[in-house]
Chain A
Amino acid sequence: MESRAPAVVAVVVTTGPGPGLEVTLASLVAQDYEELSLLVIANGEHDNVSERVAAVAPKAFLRTLDENKGFGAACNEAALMVDGAAFFLFCHDDVRLETNAVQMMVEAAFRTNAGIVTPKVVQYEDPMVLVHVGQTADRFGVVQERVDLGEIDHGQQDLERDVFVAPGGVTLVRYDLFTTLRGFDPLIPVLGEDLDLCWRAQVAGARVVVAPSAKVAHRQTISTGERLISAVGTRRRSRQDLQRRHQLMVVATGWGRVSTLLTLPLLAIMDLFEFLLSLISGDTDRAGAIISSWLWLFNNRKRIRERRRLRGQVQVLSDSELRRLQVGGASRLKRFTTTLLREGLDRARGVLPEAENLPEVISSGETSGVGFGAAFSENEEFDEISESDEISLRRRASRVLTSFRAQAVTIVLVGVFWLIATRNLAVMPLPLVGRLAPLDSWWSTWRHFFASWSPNGVGTGTPGMPGYGVLGFAGTFVFGRMGILPRLALIFSIPVGAIGTARLLKNRVSNRARVIASIAYLAMPLGLNMISQGRIDVLLFTAAVPFIVRRLFELLAIPSFRDGAYPAPVHFGLQGWRNSEAGQRTVLVMIIALVSAMIPATLIAVLVIVVGIAIARFFELDENASRVRPWRMLLAMLGSVAVFLLPLTINFFFAGRRALEIFGIARGPWDVPSFGALIRGSDGNLGLSWAAWLLPVAALLSFFVCRGIRRNIASKAASIATLSLVLATLSLHHWMGTFAPDADVLIALYMAMVALLIGLGVSALENDLRQAGFGWRQIFAGIFVSMLVVSTAPFVLSSSSGRFDLPTNSVAQSLSSLAPSNSGAYRVLWLGDPTVLPVAGWSVAPGLAAATTMNGLPTGSTLFTPPDSGTSDVLLSDVQLALEGRTVRLGSLLATAGISTIVVMNASSPELAGVQTVPIRPVPNTLRTALHMQSDLSLELQTSSVEVYANSLFTGLIHATSNGSNPVPVVANVGVPGHLQMTPASNVHVVAGLAPAGAFALTVNGKTVPRSTAVGWAPKYQVGTVQGNEKVELILHQFPLNGLLALFTLGLWAFVWLGFGWVHRVEWLFNRRHRRVIVPSSETGDNE
């Protein structure tokens, strides 16, 4: 009897050992479809294939190919051998078809007039789990599954429908269509050939249909790594690399001209974004794949033209019709964004291990999200703790802020609110308050780091402060627009600190607790006050402290931060070294060093953390405590930081009695915040209301309700917070002598601990309280939540100005006429509370610091002051003399140093009723009295904020005298030629108020003149007889030791940075060796 069924040729392409070949062939042999022929293509390696085929399917045809050119090429080869068939059934050698699969697919093809039919694909081991029911794709060629990972087959997908991609495995293709399309593109041997074929088929007007009634199990030996990709030309390529280039090829040739012009640039932009992100996150494989794909596309431009020509020949559907068959938007971007929000950056970039490999969380009910964005989990299981049935029946967990949507909305709202609250900081002219002195250019900032001489005080030849190096490095990332840096610090420091707080609590509390703790950190008064006072140094610490705390906790093996040993040691420079103990320590050291370069009191904060942990452990010994030696680690860390900040270290050791001033200068005990204000974390005008008590009180309550490991962490946090407060109090009241670490840094540490405690408190509400019977704890919960809500009120109210009360003008900027009437260089001496001065200085007495600036207002050259005051001690001792009533001719004493003006500041900005309020921090009353007593100072300006005195005996920074005549200013500066304009005279000498004396040489008409010293420190040059109008120039002659030291320091940083796997990475760039990177399976699409 003649069969009326159309002929189907099943083409099984087998490669290498083909572990499932027998099963595949057996299932084909067992098909109930009569007109089914079997053709096996042995692709390349074909040992024993004929025997294996013959054993299972003796009637099958076998064709062996000499080399493996890929699945598509093998299918094309098979097509050449076949004539008169109606359909091809292209099969991998790791599939298992149900007996009616071919029948169902052929029926579906006729029923729907489809060109390509794909079956329902299930897991090989568990046929109840769906793998594919067809696939879709977006306009950028990114394939998307139509079923969820692990979705159980309940028949919910059993509907014949059009799909865009028929995933590889088993594909029924109409013979004539395959011929028209000229088969698979041999340029795409694997990973993407199915997408390409389906795309072209649909361009040609053919339908691609899924036939769920046909069921196929797919072993997926390539995507599971059971078998390597071995096609010619693919052996040195990663899956990612192949997939990207093939997608790119499909997109580049799949659209008409106009659509291509739109689509390719968009794809290029997205790839660029992904490339940058990969670079930032160190995912060089991905970055390499992106670059490689575009290069490959460029290299195959001839093939592109050919494919486009063929497309034109077969095109039936227009681009708009084709687009309607695809999913809208950009699937990869959407998936990245969603993953970023839900699971953090590391997961989004796809290089983290799977969730089950992450460290165990404290509570089984808590999520193991990664990153700050991991708060956005729809999984509410973290609220569910193991509890008795009785309790769970009685109570239901709070659902507030537990859903992904709620948390996402909260974070977005807070972010928007923050941007609104800081809106003016982005555009307003920054006032000259705190540390907001305008930065010098990028180049000049680097020069300060390498400089052999700096103008601080009367001048110093001490090594350049590393802070300049940090600023210069940071300036590189803003393309030298240094003015952006302080704005970035003002706006983003606290949010970064809030993110750090979320990271600190990661894997320890629920995402809800992390969100709340982060918001609490944002609302802390200290940060807002630091914005209002322009203290960007403290703000930087505020940004960094949660990260420092987290890493210190890990190194000190605080339970749940690190419960086990570090991975096995890895050699320096190799990838993985960063994760070793040495690498982790180095990361922490570098973070501390970076922040310490800007604000050295960071080191004291580190000390407080370690001591605080030691105190807590004294009362409650951790199980892992014996594994770490905190003091040895602390010493090693401080030593390492000292090496990283070598210029600062050298300054420190040469500073003598002033060495400790590097950590902070004593403030006047008469205007420091009260102990109550300290507990509220307020050092300024913000946060003095009763509402500011709520956050610390909430933290206190948290300390008492936490249980288990939460309590253990809370004990450490409480201990550190208490120690911070104690040290801040001692410092503010000047009870530790010259050791007066910056109290704001200590308060910032205290605030970080308060935020940590609040996060733990929320977690305790979710877990510990629900395990307890009804009682005071439940009442506490209500109080706790109410306090957290109300505590944000001052934060909200303080945002109305759009700048958190940062003044719009400053006292310093209002001093427009600081320049003396006679021309030439001059200095301004700034006196005031160290937190009020717009420039860093040295301590004269508690509450009184002194600093100088050259030729007017502070600039970027005096941002940092070396602790070693050196020759500048002459200035400080002169002021000290006045303060003690031991001189009445301060102007005369300061004249040698070229001090033309003394500015005494009680506030950084003028108080404007109803417009701006600033903290008044008066100088010692004795200073005012002393300055009033001076017979040679003239009071030029007197307000409640500032007093300005002119030095009536000022004669110029560089001046000339002759035989006791009145000094004549020399119009010159260091390196700037000038003229000696005086009447002809003999025995003329020139005195320069610049130290060290030996660093400068004076040339008169190009000839160097002999030098001695005046008043013990100032260079005095014997000019001799002058005729008037001689050309003079003061030249700095200093061996560049400081430059060499700075160079060494930079080299050290670069060397250690290379140790973080960069040696390995650089090596990879040259030899193209591959790293295995775990990529979400959905991204690869299982298209092999």
Chain B
Amino acid sequence: MNNLRRLPLAAVLAATLIFMAVLSTLIGGTNPSQISSGLLVASDAESTALYCSGLTSSSVTFFNTTSTSHNVSVSWTTDTGSSGSSTTNLASHDTWNIAQFGKGSVFAVAAQIHGGGVVGSVAGANGLQGTCNSAGVTSWFGAGFDTTVGSTGDLSIYNPTATAAVFNVSTFTNSGFSAPAAFQGLSVNAHQLVVLNLGTQLVNLTNIGVHVKVLRGSLEIVGIQHSGNSVSYYPGENQLSQQNWFPLVTTSNGAKAQLRYANPSSNTISVTVNVSLPPFSVQPQTLTVLPYSSGEITITPNTAIPANGYAFVSSSSSAPLLTALVLGTTKGLNLFAPQVPTSSILLADFSGSRLDTAEVTNTSKHDVTVNVTSLPSSAQGAYGSSPAFKIHLKAGASTKVNLTNIASGELMSTTKNVLLVTVALQTVPAGINLLSALNAR
């Protein structure tokens, strides 16, 4: 037999092996980490949960976004141990409001829904609003808390599981890292609420960054920042990021706008903030955040940035860090977390505030089409009867939209996680309060 007859077989085998090697290298498997939550859970799910926290002066509103009714079982507890429960069948596109939580200043609500597609909102006076989340977290970051005179920074920590949770809290301030002994090894019993006052350990400090590391179990955490006469519910972040977008940052006279950063790493991080304020051209603002420290860039008032309505602000950094947007006046500040680009956003206002403007942003480098659907109220009949329209957005572009039916719900969706929708409420001065989307984690 001729030895050359081996070559075709050798070539085929070699080609096959090389092909498989390349393929398996290029298409490496990744461990899935995204689990459906919030609005992404189908309405026919076996059960979903919502966890909300806020001041007992607020109320919780559950909104069934689906076309089928769902049983909702709610139990609540307060920081003084008061508790209660209630059950209802929530009709399609109907809402259910709970306002009485018993004794205490902070409440936590756990709602178990037989099905999916129900969202919840915490709303209070003066446009105070927050969002209910569908799952606890094992790591939580916050930035921008103040404990100065007249300010109180609290963490409302609720354990939604049957596991007694244990967690540590560490902080980053202008003076560096701190892990107060009183904040270490804290525990929360199953389905119980703990309120942590940052001011007890971090006295008279501004721009405090917080990291809550859950050692066991998972927790639902909401920051409650009292600042002068303003109160804000701060949802925090699950992970650090290098790039953030703030489409509606006010530059109005009398307003204050700050980007607050906290660096939880051991490296110095450089931050660059680009401000888009047509027709003006604004030089990028830069900041260096030292390790385990915090810092801020003031957008308003800033002599380099003219007062001209809403600016589009994007922030990028040399390494992941914590970012928070602070809006307000000299009388008080509201704390907002940066929005995370997503594919579907539900907006609804149960606080009765009026909208000033809304901006839709495409954070990707590709053009996208955004479908906008107005959810009907329960009185309007079948789902889908309300008009829908589409918005075409070029790569990195943003546009202002007119939201007609925000009271009963506006749903915006696209195919990829690239969408930001920011809504400013009508305030004086303009733009010092933003509406929270209802589909938080």
Residue ranges of A at the interface with B (Cβ–Cβ < 8 Å): 615-616, 619-620, 668-672, 674-676, 703-704, 707-708, 711-712, 715, 718-719, 722, 725-726, 729, 733-734, 846-847, 881, 883-889, 891, 893, 922, 924-926, 929-930, 932-940, 942, 949-950, 952
The reply to whether A942 and B135 contact each other, CB–CB distance below 8 Å, is: no
Assuming the contacts A884-B35, A924-B32, asked whether A932 and B1 have C-beta atoms less than 8 A apart, the reply is: no
Inter-chain CA distance A707–B47, complex, in Å, is 67
List the A side residues contacting B21 at CB < 8 Å: 675-676
List the A side residues contacting B45 at CB < 8 Å: 881, 885-887
25 contacts between A and B (CB under 8 A): A670-B28, A670-B30, A670-B31, A704-B6, A707-B3, A718-B13, A729-B24, A734-B29, A847-B31, A885-B135, A886-B42, A888-B49, A889-B47, A925-B31, A926-B32, A929-B35, A932-B135, A933-B161, A934-B161, A935-B160, A935-B161, A938-B190, A950-B162, A952-B162, A952-B190
Q: What is the chain B residue whose CB lies nearest that of A718?
A: B13
The reply to whether B161 and A939 contact each other, CB–CB distance below 8 Å, is: yes
The reply to whether A620 and B1 contact each other, CB–CB distance below 8 Å, is: yes
The reply to whether B46 and A886 contact each other, CB–CB distance below 8 Å, is: yes
Assuming the contacts A733-B29, A939-B161, asked whether A926 and B217 have C-beta atoms less than 8 A apart, the reply is: no
Assuming the contacts A675-B20, A675-B21, A726-B20, asked whether A887 and B47 have C-beta atoms less than 8 A apart, the reply is: yes
List the B side residues contacting A950 at CB < 8 Å: 162
B152-194 contact mask (Cβ, 8 Å, vs A): 1 or 0: 0000000011111000000000000000000000000011000
Any A CB within 8 A of the CB of B276: no
Complex partner residue of B162 from A715, A734, A938, CB under 8 angstroms: A938
The reply to whether A619 and B9 contact each other, CB–CB distance below 8 Å, is: yes
Inter-chain CA distance A431–B23, complex, in Å, is 37
The reply to whether B162 and A888 contact each other, CB–CB distance below 8 Å, is: no
List the B side residues contacting A885 at CB < 8 Å: 35-37, 40-41, 45, 48, 134-135
List the A side residues contacting B116 at CB < 8 Å: 886
Complex partner residue of B3 from A671, A711, A929, CB under 8 angstroms: A711
The reply to whether A926 and B35 contact each other, CB–CB distance below 8 Å, is: yes
The minimal Cβ–Cβ distance linking B77 to chain A, given in whole angstroms, is 14
The minimal Cβ–Cβ distance linking A772 to chain B, given in whole angstroms, is 11
B410-431 contact mask (Cβ, 8 Å, vs A): 1 or 0: 0000000000000000000000
Any A CB within 8 A of the CB of B16: yes
The reply to whether A886 and B36 contact each other, CB–CB distance below 8 Å, is: yes
Inter-chain CA distance A938–B189, complex, in Å, is 11
List the A side residues contacting B17 at CB < 8 Å: 722, 725-726
Inter-chain CA distance A847–B30, complex, in Å, is 11
List the B side residues contacting A729 at CB < 8 Å: 20, 23-24
List the A side residues contacting B31 at CB < 8 Å: 668, 670-671, 847, 922, 924-925
The reply to whether B24 and A926 contact each other, CB–CB distance below 8 Å, is: no
Any A CB within 8 A of the CB of B248: no
List the A side residues contacting B42 at CB < 8 Å: 886
A670-B31, A672-B29, A676-B21 known, 8 other contacts, Cβ within 8 Å: A615-B9, A884-B35, A884-B36, A886-B46, A891-B162, A933-B35, A933-B161, A936-B162
Assuming the contacts A675-B25, A707-B3, A926-B35, asked whether A932 and B20 have C-beta atoms less than 8 A apart, the reply is: no
List the B side residues contacting A726 at CB < 8 Å: 16-17, 20
List the A side residues contacting B6 at CB < 8 Å: 620, 703-704, 711, 715
The reply to whether B110 and A719 contact each other, CB–CB distance below 8 Å, is: no
Inter-chain CA distance A671–B164, complex, in Å, is 31
Q: What is the chain A residue whose CB lies nearest that of B215?
A: A942
Inter-chain CA distance A689–B163, complex, in Å, is 43
**Which residue among A670, A707, A888 has the maximum number of chain B CB atoms within 10 Å of its CB?**
A888
Any A CB within 8 A of the CB of B363: no
> Would you list the 6 A-B pairs with minimal beta carbon distance, nearest first?
A669-B29, A886-B45, A885-B36, A939-B163, A670-B31, A619-B9
List the B side residues contacting A707 at CB < 8 Å: 3
The reply to whether B112 and A669 contact each other, CB–CB distance below 8 Å, is: no
The minimal Cβ–Cβ distance linking A938 to chain B, given in whole angstroms, is 4
List the B side residues contacting A676 at CB < 8 Å: 21
Inter-chain CA distance A940–B33, complex, in Å, is 23
Any A CB within 8 A of the CB of B86: no
Any A CB within 8 A of the CB of B27: yes
Any A CB within 8 A of the CB of B331: no
List the A side residues contacting B10 at CB < 8 Å: 703-704, 718
Q: What is the chain B residue whose CB lies nearest that of A883?
A: B35
Inter-chain CA distance A926–B24, complex, in Å, is 23
The reply to whether B46 and A932 contact each other, CB–CB distance below 8 Å, is: no
Inter-chain CA distance A937–B134, complex, in Å, is 16
List the B side residues contacting A932 at CB < 8 Å: 135-136, 138, 161, 217-218
Q: What is the chain B residue whose CB lies nearest that of A878?
A: B46
Any A CB within 8 A of the CB of B216: yes
List the A side residues contacting B217 at CB < 8 Å: 932, 939
List the A side residues contacting B161 at CB < 8 Å: 932-935, 937-939
List the A side residues contacting B136 at CB < 8 Å: 932-933
List the A side residues contacting B387 at CB < 8 Å: none
Complex partner residue of B9 from A620, A888, A937, CB under 8 angstroms: A620
Assuming the contacts A886-B116, A889-B47, asked whether A619 and B5 have C-beta atoms less than 8 A apart, the reply is: yes
Any A CB within 8 A of the CB of B8: yes
**Which residue among B30, B36, B46, B138 has the maximum number of chain A CB atoms within 10 Å of its CB?**
B46
List the B side residues contacting A949 at CB < 8 Å: 163
Any A CB within 8 A of the CB of B266: no
Inter-chain CA distance A888–B36, complex, in Å, is 12
The minimal Cβ–Cβ distance linking B23 to chain A, given in whole angstroms, is 8
The reply to whether A935 and B162 contact each other, CB–CB distance below 8 Å, is: yes
The reply to whether A935 and B49 contact each other, CB–CB distance below 8 Å, is: yes
The minimal Cβ–Cβ distance linking B19 to chain A, given in whole angstroms, is 9
B232-270 contact mask (Cβ, 8 Å, vs A): 1 or 0: 000000000000000000000000000000000000000
List the A side residues contacting B135 at CB < 8 Å: 885, 929, 932-933
Inter-chain CA distance A707–B25, complex, in Å, is 34
Q: What is the chain A residue whose CB lies nearest that of B37?
A: A885
The minimal Cβ–Cβ distance linking B188 to chain A, given in whole angstroms, is 13
Inter-chain CA distance A943–B33, complex, in Å, is 19
The reply to whether B34 and A938 contact each other, CB–CB distance below 8 Å, is: no
**Which residue among B29, B49, B190 has the maximum number of chain A CB atoms within 10 Å of its CB?**
B29
The minimal Cβ–Cβ distance linking B192 to chain A, given in whole angstroms, is 13
Inter-chain CA distance A884–B35, complex, in Å, is 6
Inter-chain CA distance A791–B41, complex, in Å, is 53
The minimal Cβ–Cβ distance linking B71 to chain A, given in whole angstroms, is 12
The minimal Cβ–Cβ distance linking B108 to chain A, given in whole angstroms, is 13
The minimal Cβ–Cβ distance linking B4 to chain A, given in whole angstroms, is 11
List the A side residues contacting B3 at CB < 8 Å: 707, 711
Any A CB within 8 A of the CB of B12: yes
Inter-chain CA distance A883–B34, complex, in Å, is 10
List the B side residues contacting A616 at CB < 8 Å: 9
The reply to whether A669 and B28 contact each other, CB–CB distance below 8 Å, is: yes
The minimal Cβ–Cβ distance linking B45 to chain A, given in whole angstroms, is 4
Inter-chain CA distance A137–B23, complex, in Å, is 71
B328-356 contact mask (Cβ, 8 Å, vs A): 1 or 0: 00000000000000000000000000000
Within 8 A of A (CB), among B42-82: 42, 45-49
Inter-chain CA distance A884–B44, complex, in Å, is 12
The minimal Cβ–Cβ distance linking A921 to chain B, given in whole angstroms, is 10
The reply to whether A930 and B35 contact each other, CB–CB distance below 8 Å, is: yes
The reply to whether B9 and A715 contact each other, CB–CB distance below 8 Å, is: yes
Inter-chain CA distance A935–B1, complex, in Å, is 72
Inter-chain CA distance A933–B220, complex, in Å, is 10
The reply to whether B47 and A888 contact each other, CB–CB distance below 8 Å, is: yes
**Which residue among B21, B35, B40, B163 has the maximum number of chain A CB atoms within 10 Å of its CB?**
B35
Assuming the contacts A620-B5, A669-B28, A669-B29, asked whether A933 and B20 have C-beta atoms less than 8 A apart, the reply is: no
The reply to whether B24 and A675 contact each other, CB–CB distance below 8 Å, is: yes
The reply to whether A925 and B1 contact each other, CB–CB distance below 8 Å, is: no
List the A side residues contacting B218 at CB < 8 Å: 932-933
The minimal Cβ–Cβ distance linking A1007 to chain B, given in whole angstroms, is 38
Inter-chain CA distance A939–B219, complex, in Å, is 13
The reply to whether B1 and A711 contact each other, CB–CB distance below 8 Å, is: yes
The reply to whether B29 and A668 contact each other, CB–CB distance below 8 Å, is: yes
Assuming the contacts A733-B29, A885-B36, asked whether A725 and B163 have C-beta atoms less than 8 A apart, the reply is: no
